[in-house]
Amino acid sequence: MEQILKQILENQNQILKTLQHQGKKLDSLEKSQLRFETSIENEIIDKIRALFDAREITNEQLTKVIEKLDRIEVDTSYLANRVSTLEKLAK
C-alpha cells in the first residue's frame, strides 16, 4: 500500500513539473506573441500614415491642376471673344 502511495505521489510530482514547464512555455509564447503583435501594429500604422500622406499630396496636386485648368478656361474664353471681335472688325 505504501509503495502505491509513493508511486502516486511520484506521478503527481511529475505531472506538477510538466504543468509548470508547460506554464513557462505558455508565458514565453504569450510574450513573443505580444512583441509580434506590437511590431505588426507599428508597421501597419507607419504604412497607413504613408498612404494618408500620399493621398494628401495627390489631392493637393489635383487641386493645383484644377486651378490651372480654370485659369486656362478663362484665358481661352477671353481669346475666343477677342478673336470673334477681331473677325467682326475685319469684315
Is the entire prediction scored with pTM above 0.75? no
Determine the straight-line distance between the first and last CA of the chain, rounded to whole angstroms.
131
Q: How far apart are CA 38 and CA 32, in angstroms?
A: 10
Give 14-66 pLDDT, tens digit per residue: 999 999 999 999 999 999 999 999 999 999 999 999 999 999 999 999 999 99
- Here the cell at position 87 is 473677325
Q: How far apart are CA 87 and CA 76, in angstroms?
A: 16
C-alpha dist (Å) from residue 88 to 36, 82, 84? 77, 10, 6
